[in-house]
Structure 1
Amino acid sequence: MTSASTNAASEKGLARVAQRLAGWTEKWFPDAYVVALAGVVVVAVAAFANGSSPQMVADAFGNGFWDLTAFTLQMAMVVLTGYVVATSPPVARLIDRLAAVPRTAATAVSFVALLAMSVSLLNWGLSLVFGGLLARAIARRTDLRVDYRALGAAAFMGLGAVWALGLSSSAAQLQATASSLPPALLKITGVLDFGTTIFTWQSIVMCAVIIVLSVVIAHFSAPRGAAIKTAEDMGVDVHDEPEEVPPRSRPGEWLEYSRILPILAGLLTVGWLVSQLFSKPVLTVVSSLNGYLLVFLMLGLVLHGTPRKFLQSVSQAVPATAGILVQFPLYAAMAAILTKAEGRGGTTISEHLAEFFTSIGSGGGFAVVIALYTVVLGIFVPSGGGKWLVEAPYVMQSSTDVQMNLGWTVQIYNVAEALPNLINPFFMLPLLAVLKLRARDLVGFTFLQFIFHLPVVLVLVWLLGTTFDFVPPVIPPTP
């Protein structure tokens, strides 16, 4: 058997294992909300085992449930604003032009992966919809036969590879926003702006390596010849039918169909942004989650042209935010039980976990263990970054104890947080709705990415972590 045929057989074997894993996941994995509920119960039981009283655990649960209401809304708005921008007419025209660029099937797949990851550095919600629409546009081409499953998996690589290393990173945004940080976490870490997390040269290098790796894997794993399954082969209609906005029926609707208000709101946003950039450090402005969301929301309004078209897009985007709205309060409750329900000796579960991670010691070993822990937990608790609310109190405390750079610890979490998305299909749901596919159609390709990504990520967090010095946290005064 030649080396080429051996490699082909190996790829088929990996794909076969991945398809079985996808089938098992679809059959046995409960909804992510159910997993989050189970997590609350597990944490509560652990608190009881630690010696906490039932009243203390119940108080921590109830009092902490709404601790992160503002952050929950902000994360839901990341998805909504990304969807609205991606479905605007100017972006749709851009997607059609980009779809004409690739010349071969393999290049088309790697091209989608590259653009999906690039867009995810701006907004992961935008990446999902943008990547899905680009995959559909390429699938509509009559001069190019491309595997639709591989295109869909490539469109998911933004969320499966580098989204948490970009501007919409939940953990980095949370750490940079004092008003969104839980008080217990703020006392440990202080505020960490983007200059200490996603904009460090180490994070940028790590991001670049992962993007290159993902594009190469996407290119060489794209089916060729008779193995290709097009959208037509799979019975998927990729010809979009634009939703028509109903005509104006009464005088009172005139402003709803006018471009005047969106233009004025856009000018106000530009004026505010210019004022911020002239009055504050650039990193402070860029790290502002509220400012980030304001710009994206107004951008979506301007790109849609009229309030009526904008609101129509918003109504389509709202269902994609449901998981965040109902899950994040449970993460907040878990974090409260971990950090506030004191047991024997006045210690909490968070403190015990911090002691465990501290016992690992400093250096590369600590970085690798934190990354692996994040991956394993993320397989069972898909959160899009909300899991950081649960992990951060004890992970950051142990990071301080072993004098690991706190900003790099956030990035260890961020790069590892994306990996479970390549296995657990929870965050594929918005993309699958666009593609009209099932999770098992994509997981064979994303699981292959996971096999290569995991060892590379572990090596990167180990090696790059050695270049950091420990910087003691600056705790802001209590208002």
Structure 2
Amino acid sequence: MKKLANFFNSLVQKYLPDPFVFAVILLVIVLLSAFIWTPTSPGEMIDHFGDGFWSLLAFTMQLSIVLITSSAIANTRFIKKYLAKLASIPKNPTQAVFTVAIVTSLVGIINWGIALVVGIIYAKEVAKQVKGTHYPLLIAASYIGFTVWSSGLSSSIPLTLNTPDHPVEGINGIIPLTETIFTLHNLIIGLALILTYALVSRMLTPKEHEIIAIDSNKLIEDDNSSDFEQKVDLKGKSLAFKLEHNRIISSIAGIVCLLFFAKAIITGGVNAINLNTINMFTIGLGLLMYSGVKPYLEAAGGSIKSVTPLIILYPFYGAIQTMLAGSGLGEIVSNYFASIATAETLPILTYLAAGFLNLFVPAAGGQIIIQGPIFLPIAEQLGVPQGLIAMAITYGDTWTNLLQPFWALPALALAGLGVRDIMGYCITAMLVSGVVTGVLLTILPIIL
């Protein structure tokens, strides 16, 4: 497995371009494929490009807020104190990467946004405490473990299908979470992926002469990240300064946000868990943890750099997604897989189709819009639970996130690494987890 990872590391170092270049290559592939396989004209494709360019604007803003607000919370002394204690558990490099993958996976089961940030911060803390750890592998283990969120409470496709007026409600109606997230097959697959990713990460630990330690500059940055919490001497300061550093004012704003979150959960239950309510929670909690709105804004601003790739790159993915759907290319791919499906093979074929489409449409919302109208009705015709097929789309969507750098960008920005630093490890984990998930999707419908 180490040889395999080294092979992929060497490959990506030579040939994997910057994610922006990767997106442009995908754009060209979609354009050419549409001209060859569909009757769509060049003018129509340009229209689809323009229509989709800003289609992920709200999602990009939501994701940016998740990262910024979660980072502000994760960088507080309170959180860092417990992450530091948790980082003292592993005693050697192999235990270190195993623990990072496990911790990030467990947090991801609760919420993917918090997991993405906390996982990176925890990995950096482990890198400080456990000597001889390979920093790129620690970050890779964190990102690999993060992808287990598809089985958790913030899994976007199941939450979407359980929401009234969702994009494909007219085709399959509402699919409750009791048929998707809260099922035995999802529990088994989720646990299997957690263990698989942790064990693969452990096995990939390089030899001593290959180890790259954490950059000392990153240690300085982390040590300074909680300076915003320092108590400020307000004596002799202006009224404006005192208001900006007044804990009562920030607490009032935080409490109102948390009251809304609590009311939403009480009245809506698990159905109320979505990006907006999670962002409301993280904003409210963060405001309570800082002594004033000014320190909070300064702390949040420290992670602005991590969202820059999202803001610039995601519009192109939105355009690619719309071009696939508008031209009919996505439907062609899905129809091919559906045409060869039986009741026994539909889950695994759905998973493979989702994994392939995710390379071009890395947002789960686009996945369900393209695949849902085709695979969910076929599931009903073949007597396969629609909830299982919805989860197969979800698993496939996050499976090839280990190859598609869409989600890795913000994590790498926080870690101070490039996509080529971790992609070899991610591809290795992707191959192993593909086998594990594929086998389970094949046998679980038979035995359960």
Q: Normalising by the residue count of structure 1, what TM-score does the alignment of the two structures yield?
A: 0.78
1:191 aligns with 174
- 1:94 has 2:82 as partner: yes
1:262 aligns with 250
Structure 1: distance between partners of 2:198 and 2:291 = 35
2:8 aligns with 18
1:472 aligns with none
Structure 2: distance between partners of 1:303 and 1:206 = 36
Q: Cα–Cα, structure 1 residues 423 and 168, in superposed 2: closer, same or farther, change >3 Å? A: same
Deviation of residue 387 (structure 1)? 4.2
Deviation of residue 202 (structure 1)? 1.4
1:116-135 equivalences in 2 (<5 Å): 116-135=104-123
Which range is displaced more, 130-139 or 60-69?
60-69
Deviation of residue 61 (structure 1)? 5.7
2:211 to 201, 211, 229: 229
Structure 2: distance between partners of 1:195 and 1:100 = 38
Deviation of residue 329 (structure 1)? 5.3
Deviation of residue 229 (structure 1)? 1.6
| Deviation per residue, 1:105-164 (Å, 9 max, x gap) | 2212211111111112233332233222222222223x74323233222222233x4122
2:299 aligns with 313
Deviation of residue 206 (structure 1)? 0.7
- 1:111 has 2:116 as partner: no
Percent identical across equivalent pairs? 24
- 1:295 has 2:274 as partner: no
Structure 1: distance between partners of 2:317 and 2:212 = 40
1:172 to 143, 158, 183: 158
Structure 1: distance between partners of 2:20 and 2:53 = 22
- 1:158 has 2:148 as partner: no
Letter in 1 for 2:177: F
1:239-258 equivalences in 2 (<5 Å): 239=220, 240-243=222-225, 244-245=227-228, 250-258=238-246
| Deviation per residue, 1:162-217 (Å, 9 max, x gap) | 122223333233333346x43xx232233334333222221121101110122222
Structure 2: distance between partners of 1:62 and 1:305 = 44
Letter in 2 for 1:13: K
1:39-438 equivalences in 2 (<5 Å): 41-42=31-32, 45=35, 50-52=38-40, 69-141=57-129, 144-159=131-146, 161-178=147-164, 181-182=166-167, 185-223=168-206, 226-227=208-209, 229-231=211-213, 237-239=218-220, 240-243=222-225, 244-245=227-228, 250-280=238-268, 282-286=269-273, 288-325=274-311, 352-353=332-333, 355-378=335-358, 380-381=359-360, 383-388=362-367, 389-438=369-418
Deviation of residue 95 (structure 1)? 1.5
Structure 2: distance between partners of 1:65 and 1:237 = 35
Structure 1: distance between partners of 2:51 and 2:260 = 36
1:473 aligns with none
Which range is displaced more, 331-340 or 131-140?
331-340
Alignment check: 8 A CA contact 1:39 1:334 kept: no
Letter in 2 for 1:148: Y
Which range is displaced more, 328-337 or 163-172?
328-337
| Deviation per residue, 1:399-438 (Å, 9 max, x gap) | 4554533322221122222222333445333333333334
Letter in 1 for 2:196: L
Q: Cα–Cα, structure 1 residues 285 and 387, in superposed 2: closer, same or farther, change >3 Å? A: closer
| Deviation per residue, 1:14-60 (Å, 9 max, x gap) | 233122222144348653542564466357536xx544567766666
Structure that is richer in helix per residue: 2
Q: RMSD value over aligned CA atoms? A: 3.5
Alignment check: 8 A CA contact 2:162 2:174 kept: yes
Structure 1: distance between partners of 2:319 and 2:418 = 32
Letter in 2 for 1:238: L
| Deviation per residue, 1:360-411 (Å, 9 max, x gap) | 2332322222222222333x43725354244444444544554533322221
Structure 2: distance between partners of 1:391 and 1:206 = 21
Structure 2: distance between partners of 1:80 and 1:200 = 33
Structure 2 residues without counterparts, runs of 5 or longer: none
Structure 2: distance between partners of 1:255 and 1:228 = 52
Match of 2:223, SS? coil
1:460 to 431, 440, 443: 440
Q: Cα–Cα, structure 1 residues 399 and 17, in superposed 2: closer, same or farther, change >3 Å? A: same
Structure 1: distance between partners of 2:304 and 2:82 = 24
Q: Cα–Cα, structure 1 residues 335 and 264, in superposed 2: closer, same or farther, change >3 Å? A: same
Q: Normalising by the residue count of structure 2, what TM-score does the alignment of the two structures yield?
A: 0.83
Alignment check: 8 A CA contact 1:128 1:158 kept: no
Alignment check: 8 A CA contact 2:325 2:370 kept: no
Structure 1: distance between partners of 2:42 and 2:420 = 42
Alignment check: 8 A CA contact 2:403 2:430 kept: yes
